[in-house]
A and B are shown apart, each in its own frame.
Chain A
Amino acid sequence: MKSIGLYVIFMGSLFTKMETFKTYVRRTVDESMLIGINSLTLVTIVSTFIGMVTTVQTAANLISPFVPTSVISTVVREMTILELAPTITSVVLAGKVGSNIASELGTMRITEQIDALEVMGINSTSYLVFPKILAAIIMFPLLVILSGFLGLYGGYLVGTLTGVVSGEDFIYGLRLDFKQYYIFMAIVKAIVFGFIVASVSAYKGYYVEGGSLEVGQASTTAVTNSCISILLADFMIAQLFL
């Protein structure tokens, strides 16, 4: 309970004594590069392979003369858009981005860089953390959209190359009974998960006390707490929106 209270106070402090708009724009662009552009390779590899594996395993479970092969891509589509792209991508990003944020802020704390900002009269939470959260909220949906596309494309490639489903059937299955609302849900999830990863990790890193050992521990806790929070939020969004 104490941690939740501290987290709420921490989030509230982001909006007090803010810096200029120009400062936040510059910092948010920098953070977007770190969070978004630097995660492209990881997201590409993970998403493509998850799409490929999902297609192969769905096909293996649907071998029946009574089930048209286009169902494979319909199942892959639903799984990818609703769950794999937003949730798995965010969990993977929690590992990369979350640990990065926590260790960066933790190191700044133990090397007195955060104190240096405070002494200058700068609100360190607002200056350091707010742009990270903003960048995560912007970049996570873009990465999730990319992840969804690559997942489906990976499924298409492996399906057609292994012959379990023809290209035409795969495309037909993708289009069959497509609900645009699911895209909206995936983006909502991505925004919420981006906020969770950035804020939880920043909170864990910002309040580090001690030395390098504690920074490492904070980084690990940031990732685990982010992952658990993502899964809880995933369930709540599914309950609310479906």
Chain B
Amino acid sequence: MIEISHITKAFNGRTVLNDISGIFEQGKANLIIGSSGTGKSVLLKSIVGLIEPDEGEVIYNGRNFTRADKDLKTEIRREIGMLFQGSALFDSLTVEANVKFPLDTLTKLPEDEKMDRVNFSLKRVGLENVNKRMPSEISGGMKKRVGIARAIVNDVKYLFCDEPNSGLDPQTSIVIDDLIKEITEEFDTTTIVVTHDMNSVIGIGDKIMFLYKGQKLWEGSNANILNPDVKELQDFIFANKLVKQIKS
């Protein structure tokens, strides 16, 4: 479980996140949604420590990450796996080396065990026989899968996904969404997904936080998101004609 309390962040005097609090539950896909520029990615980066919030705290299973010393921060970070918007695979490494990278740098496991884990992770995301390919030789969807494989290879407790569907066709998006959902349940991770894709919201949103202009306006799940009492959320959801049709 991850708890955030009163997260506030401003850049050059402009407030991007304003007093955001919430709980992200273990074993569930927790979604942060909102229009572009509402601070979703800044919130995610504040949670993983890539951006330091001006105020507020992030607590990982009772451990205060914001106030932690370097050792504790490193310890917590090694329990984190993250899928980036552009996959962020290392260009100079093969698919296999990319997935094996966290094991090589963070563990002292024997080589054969590392390879077992790499092959298991790649198989889990539905990728086989691509071990020796370079990132430039695989498609966008495959890169996302490799990104997920790299994120889960080191038995992570927390999985973060920043716009996992960006740049993907609708079918591949559903595959990636399903994969995130399955992995969350199978590995019992606390998963946080930043997205503005309504398919993901309805498909995997166990718990949803809606941000609008840096503020949390609504919290709920995919079961009740189609009947929101917040106008900004209604505007956001029903901007999608398909969702409008489903509703009617």
B78 near A112: Cβ-Cβ < 8 Å:
no
A121 near B84: Cβ-Cβ < 8 Å:
no
Interface residue from A112, A118, A122 paired with B86 (Cβ < 8 Å): A112
Contacts of A116 in B (CB 8 A): 82, 84, 88, 90
Question: Does B105 have its Cβ within 8 Å of any Cβ on chain A?
Answer: yes
Q: Categorize the interface residue count of chain B.
A: 20 to 34
Docked pose: A19 CA to B88 CA in angstroms:
21
Residue of B nearest to A115 (CB): B50
Interface residue from A16, A19, A113, A127 paired with B91 (Cβ < 8 Å): A113
Q: How distant is B39 from chain A, measured CB to nearest CB, in Å? A: 17
Residue of B nearest to A116 (CB): B88
B70 near A17: Cβ-Cβ < 8 Å:
yes
A112 near B85: Cβ-Cβ < 8 Å:
yes
Question: Does B77 have its Cβ within 8 Å of any Cβ on chain A?
Answer: yes
Query: How does the 8 Å CB contact mask read for B157-171 relative to A, with 1 for contact and 0 for none?
Result: 000100000000000
Query: How does the 8 Å CB contact mask read for A1-29 relative to B, with 1 for contact and 0 for none?
Result: 00000000000000011010001000000
Question: Does A58 have its Cβ within 8 Å of any Cβ on chain B?
Answer: no
Residue of B nearest to A114 (CB): B88
B86 near A111: Cβ-Cβ < 8 Å:
yes
Question: Does B7 have its Cβ within 8 Å of any Cβ on chain A?
Answer: no
Interface size in chain A (residues, C-beta < 8 A): 17
Docked pose: A228 CA to B28 CA in angstroms:
55
A120 near B70: Cβ-Cβ < 8 Å:
no
Given known contacts A17-B70, A17-B74, A19-B105, is B90 in contact with A119 (CB within 8 Å)? no
Contacts of B85 in A (CB 8 A): 112
Contacts of A107 in B (CB 8 A): 91
Q: How distant is A22 from chain B, measured CB to nearest CB, in Å? A: 10
Scoring B75, B82, B88 by chain A CB atoms within 10 A of each residue's CB, the highest score goes to: B88
Tell me the chain B residues, 95-144 only, with Cβ under 8 Å from chain A.
Answer: 101-102, 105-106
- Chain B interface residues (CB < 8 Å from chain A): 45, 48-50, 70, 73-78, 80, 82, 84-86, 88-91, 101-102, 105-106, 160
- Chain A interface residues (CB < 8 Å from chain B): 16-17, 19, 23, 107-108, 111-113, 115-116, 118-122, 127
25 pairs, A vs B, C-beta closer than 8 Å: A17-B74, A23-B105, A111-B86, A112-B85, A112-B88, A113-B90, A115-B45, A115-B88, A116-B84, A116-B90, A118-B50, A119-B48, A119-B49, A119-B50, A119-B82, A119-B160, A120-B78, A120-B102, A120-B106, A121-B73, A121-B74, A121-B76, A121-B80, A121-B106, A122-B106
